[in-house]
Amino acid sequence: MMKGLRSVGLIAAAGLAFSSTTAFADELRIVSWGGAYQKGQSIGIFQPAAKAMGITVKEDTYGGISDVKLMVKSGADKFDIFSSGAGSCASGAAEGVLEKLDYSIIDVSDHLPGMYSDYCAGADIFSVVAAWNTETYGDNGPRTWADFYDVEKFPGTRAMRNKVDAQLETALLADGVPMDQIYEVLNSEAGIERALDKIRTIKPHIAVWWSSGAQHAQLMKDGEVDMTTGWNGRFDVAKDDGAKVAYDWRTGIMDWEGYGIPKGAKNKDLAMKYIAEMMKPEYMAEFAKYITYGPTNGKVYELGLMEESRAKMMPSHPDNAKHQLTLSTEWYSKWRTIAAEMYTEMMTE
Amino acid sequence: MENSSLNISIKNVTKKYDEFYALKDISLDITSGEFMTLLGPSGSGKTTLLMVLAGFTNPDYGSVKFGEEEVILKPPHLRGIGMVFQNYALFPHMTVEQNVGYPQKLRGVSKAETSRTVDEALETVKLGGLGHRRVDELSGGQRQRVALARAIVFKPKILLMDEPLSALDKKLREEMQIELRQLHDTLNMTTVYVTHDQKEALTMSDRITVINGGELMQLGTPNEIYEHPENGFIADFIGESTLLPVQVKNSKATIGKTEIKVAQPLDKDGNFSLVVRPEKVFLAPSKKKKDENYFNGRLLDSIFQGESQLLVIDLESAGGEAQELRVRIPNQSVTDKALPAIGEKVTIALKVADSYVVS
Amino acid sequence: MSLTTNNINQNELRKLAAREGYTFFGLTVPYLIMVTALIAIPVGWLFYLSFIGRDGTFSFENYERMWKSKAYIKIFITTFKISILTTIICAAIGYPLAYFMSQLSRRWANICMIGVLIPFWTSLLVRTYAWLVLLQKKGLLNNIAIDMGLISEPIKFVHNTTGTLIGMVHIMLPFLILPLYANMRAIDKDCMKAASSLGAAPSRAFWTVFLPLSLPGLLAGLLIVFVLCLGFYVTPAILGGGKVIMAAMKISSNIELYFSWGAASALGVVLLVVTGIILFIASKLVSIDQLGSR
């Protein structure tokens, strides 16, 4: 929800772009997603890293990679670093609005395989899962996507995202497509249509198309829907807050988030050093105390920086990761626009 | 001809707002076909009484009968009255024709008949041919005529008018007064007319009811009201007058130490006022008569006013207090006689027949 | 005889008149600048951008996309449906209220007006979320109704068209009431008395006199509400549960989807044009000029 609102802000932001804030030499501006997520980032990573480097870091929220694209294309200067999903980052890179990261400065030698790209330095690993209301279903909620799509066995209201990201996969998994063939099947409009058709079967039961993590967490907290797709960390925070919510790792679709630099950022060099600092395992371990998003830096586990009980809650923990599908950044950079259009059609039908 | 009017009988009508009486026990009979004016200063209750007749204000108690029928509980739209408002209250979204035809339309009168009666009503108020005009294209006088046509088009037996001429300029107002009176004589509706303009009341009415402070002060013909006001308020309110303090003792009236003769018997002792109207007094001839009272004074001012000359006189014999008296001399006399100079001593006369004292 | 001797000071007086004319015209300059800067230029820019494709050259692709996709037509229908319904409900609630207020003494009417305006003092976002809290499945209203035994299953008030309408009507109501109330206040009270004295029962007097006289205010209110509704974003986004997609939301999501102003601009242009056409037709059907001008 907040994210949707920020999109309004984006239009205003583009207008304000001409009167951009001045960047000082020892000051960086970083933007992220707000809510419980950014709170963890701020306390665990952003501010301690800034303190270690003796610089000032100003934080703000933003509306996603589209903000970066609009900012760069309109020649504005609003922030130096942004926190973004790997897929979004890839689409930004494809549009040529990002600075290539200098991995001679940023050390990713200890990163888990695939958890960084030329334009995005991985920072945490999260999952899209199916969460259910334990008041409605007790422990026997929808533990697989097949259950989520089974309105006979699990009657009740559902919520799905109002954007295509990580939603089509759920449909195909429910349809029985093996994990390793998901993106193969989706590699054509017919395949996308197949996934959409599956979603159409439960459309009458979808009470809400959510637009932000804060919203889907609230939906579960208020008992407004009986199950929803959403980010695991948000549900864990909601659960700590008293929400009756549970999820099973077998529904997990794993993705990672990292930092990128918009093309032409004023403090590009400093931003590069700052990202390098944030890659250190101690920050990632600290961050994971606030929200259950796992570290990309393998050293966190090696150095035993995280307690085992906490580590087991992370999507990237081997016990959890083995059940999950890993989101294909490659597929999104190729198909996202088309799939998003088709998804919107399906929603508005 | 059918009897097109009704008498109105008002009994004990009382309306109180908190501690303030808007109408205090008013009883009044208006005869069929009469032109009755309710006259009083603003806030006197005259409009409240009219609104009681129309049904827009409910009194606390009392009775209003139109003919033999008690109407006090009837809503306004069932009372069958014609009404003309101070600011015309024409419907701005309708043409002249539509305005005048409105009551006919409500009564389900056929189109042809409506059209005929509307034309007739417009002819009556001398607006023939203006039916297609928009209301905002009309002058104030024309608007008031439309309002009148609208109120009479359905031939109501009672016509109520609430200060209908007060928004017009003086000349037009005086013309309309005569026209309205003539119209009344033609239509023969019982007319109740509210005004605060005493001259208008005198000009138009069969009878006048003077109201003040929610109370009925006097009811009478214009002549009676003017010539024989029943109290100081009426004497002061109707026409121009100076009230000279008079002491009555043992059937003798004195102003200061001078005794005056009056036209009425004096059966009560106490303080009264002599009503002196400027046109009733005149410069005393050198030879005094028995049937005149005389007042000495000094000429303060002499003002030419067109049709008359107004003399302002400072009375000597007013009993201690300085008292001004006004004398109006008709213009024809002015040219005839030499007028006294300012500051000169003058004696003025008032006929005993014109000498009335009021409480 | 020469002109100058005959017409003393004529030229000077003409100049004086001209100068006064310029000064008078000068009063409009701030407005003209504002309109140009805030309306003419942005609208022109919007129009221009709508013809720019993703590769930055002139193209109809943004309009073609709208043609081809059923979603856009559906979104336009939703936008107009919600706007029209909101307008009608506002009128149904606002008209009697404005009438009531117009009949009160000024003092009491002012107190009522404060009541009407209080929602203006709270942010739109707060009011919208307040409705969500009140109306959701386990919200206050459903809980009370269930506790009282009025219903056994919660009623779905939000995350649908109903919720969107409730939220939007609440926000839009003052915009309808303000012009309507001002108009009703200005209606000569004697007009209704006149109608009544001429034989019209209260309901008849209302339909034949009061209603026509209040139409200009009503139309002004309807127009303001309708046009404002067309551009609504926050309320349908929150209370519509993603199911009520209006044009403004699609404009925003198009920017995210296609990363170009063009895709969003084209939608804006179409909305502007369709709205213009609807208002034009409406103005032809109901000529405000013919109604109760005084």
> Which pLDDT score, from 0 to 100, does residue B357 have?
85
CATH 3.40.190.10 holds for A128-252+327-348: yes
Of A64, A222, A345, the CB nearest to C256: A64
The pLDDT value recorded for residue A18 is 37
Question: Which residues in C lie closer than 8 A to residue A340 (C-beta atoms)?
Answer: 257
Say what the pTM is.
0.81
pLDDT digits (tens, 9 = 90+) for B16-42: 998 889 999 999 999 999 999 999 999
At A183, the pLDDT band (50, 70, 90 cuts) reads very high
Nearest CA in chain C to A159: C241
CA distance B89 to A313: 80
Position B353 confidence tier, pLDDT thresholds 50, 70, 90: confident
CB contact under 8 Å between C212 and B93, yes or no, is yes
Closest Cβ–Cβ partner in C196, C213, C293 for B76: C196
Q: Are B27 and B61 in contact (CB under 8 A)?
A: no
- Report whether pLDDT(A15) > 70: no
What does pLDDT average to over chain B?
89
From chain C, the residues in CB contact with A75 under 8 A are none
State the smallest CA–CA distance between residue B172 and chain C in angstroms. Answer: 23
Q: CATH says C51-185+219-290 is which class?
A: mainly alpha
Q: How confident is the model at residue B245 (pLDDT cuts 50, 70, 90)?
A: confident
**What is the phi/psi pair of residue B310, to 5°?**
-105, 125
- In the predicted model, what is the mean pLDDT of residues A179-195? 96
Higher pLDDT, A7 or B263: B263
How many whole angstroms separate alpha carbon A220 and alpha carbon A299?
Answer: 34
> Is residue B186 over pLDDT 80?
yes
Percent of chain A with pLDDT over 90: 72
pLDDT of residue A25: 67
Which pairing describes strands A325-326 and B35-39: parallel, antiparallel, or unpaired? unpaired
3-state secondary structure chain A: CHHHHHHHHHHHHHHHHHHCCCCCCCEEEEEECCHHHHHHHHHHHHHHHHHHHCCEEEEEECCCHHHHHHHHHCCCCCCCEEEEEHHHHHHHHHHCCECCCCCCCCCCCCECCCCEECCEEEEEEEEEEEEEEHHHHCCCCCCCHHHHCCCCCCCCCEEEECCCCCCHHHHHHHCCCCHHHHHHHCCCHHHHHHHHHHHHHHHHHEEEEECCHHHHHHHHHCCCCCEEEEEHHHHHHHHHCCCCEEECHHHCEEEEEEEECECCCCCHHHHHHHHHHHCCHHHHHHHCCCCCCEECECHHHHCCCCCHHHHCCCCCCHHHHCCCEECCHHHHHHHHHHHHHHHHHHHHC
Predicted confidence at residue C98, as pLDDT, reads 95
Answer yes or no: do B93 and C199 touch at CB < 8 A.
no
pLDDT, one tens digit per residue, over B83-117 is 999 999 999 999 999 999 999 999 999 999 999 99
Higher pLDDT, C284 or A270: A270
Question: Which of C72, C255, C258, C261 is best to mutate for the A interface (most A CBs within 10 A)?
Answer: C255
pLDDT for the residue numbered B334: 58
Q: Across the interface, which of C190, C200, C293 has its CB nearest the CB of B77?
A: C200
Report the C-alpha gap between C293 and C285 in whole angstroms. 17
Chain B residues with at least one Cβ partner in C under 8 Å: 54-56, 75-83, 85-87, 89-93, 102-103, 106-107, 135-136, 147, 150-151, 154, 160
Say what the pLDDT of residue B69 is: 93
Among residues B204, A283, B184, B91, the alpha carbon closest in space to that of C196 is found at B91
Kindly provide the ipTM of the predicted complex, given to two decimals: 0.81
CB contact under 8 A, B92 and C201: no
The residue ranges of chain C whose pLDDT is under 50 are 1, 290-294
Q: Which of B87, C256, B51 is nearest to A341 (CA)?
A: C256
DSSP secondary structure string, B336-355? HSPPPPTT-EEEEEEEGGG-
**How far, in Å, CA of B162 to CA of B85, rounded?**
5
Residues of C with CB under 8 A from a CB of B: 188, 190-191, 193-202, 204-205, 208-209, 212-213, 291-294
DSSP B19-44: TEEEEEEEEEEE-TT-EEEEE--TTS
Per mean pLDDT, which range of A143-152, A225-234, A267-276, B330-339 is the poorest? B330-339
- B320: pLDDT confidence band, cut at 50, 70 and 90? low
pLDDT band at A19 (very low <50, low <70, confident <90, very high): very low
Q: Cα–chain-centroid distance for residue A326?
A: 13
Which of A230, A192, A181, A194 minimizes the C-alpha distance to A209? A230
Write down the pLDDT at residue A17: 38
SS3 call for B64: strand
- In this predicted structure, what is the pLDDT of residue A24? 60
Q: Which one-letter DSSP state was computed for residue C75?
A: H
Question: A–B contact (≥3 CB pairs within 8 Å)?
Answer: no
Domains of chain B: 8-227 (3.40.50.300), 240-358 (2.40.50.100)
Closest chain C C-alpha to B192 CA, distance in angstroms: 14
How much of chain A, in percent, has pLDDT values that exceed 70?
Answer: 93
Cα–Cα distances in Å, from A37 out to A27, A214, A235, A290, C289? 23, 10, 11, 8, 58
Q: Check whether B318 has a pLDDT greater than 80.
A: no
Q: What are phi and psi of B179, to 5 degrees?
A: -65, -45
Q: At how many degrees (to 10) do helices C70-103 and C161-186 cross? A: 40
Q: Which residue has the higher pLDDT, B121 or A114?
A: B121
Confidence (pLDDT) at B339:
79
Cβ–Cβ gap B85/C193 under 8 Å = yes
pLDDT (average), residues B280-305: 85
pLDDT at A4: 39
In angstroms, the first-to-last Cα distance of chain B is: 47
- The verdict on a CB contact (< 8 Å) between C159 and A224 is yes
Q: How far is C208 from chain B (nearest CA, A)?
A: 9
Q: Which tens digits make up the pLDDT trace of A317-327?
A: 889 989 999 99
* Residue B20, burial from CB neighbour count under 10 angstroms (0-12, 13-18, 19+): exposed
DSSP annotation of B275: E
For domain A2-125+255-325, the CATH class is alpha beta
Max distance between CA atoms of chain C, in angstroms, equals 102
Transcribe C208-238 into DSSP letters.
IIIHHHHHHHHHHHHHHHHHHHHT--HHHHH
User: Residue B69, Cβ neighbours under 10 Å: how many?
Assistant: 11
The pLDDT value recorded for residue B148 is 93
Picking from A189-203, A314-328, B246-260, B314-328, which range would have the lowest pLDDT averaged per residue? B314-328
Cβ neighbours of residue A32 under 8 Å, at least 6 residues apart?
A38, A41, A59, A61, A62, A82, A83
- Tokens 């960390």 identify what position? A233
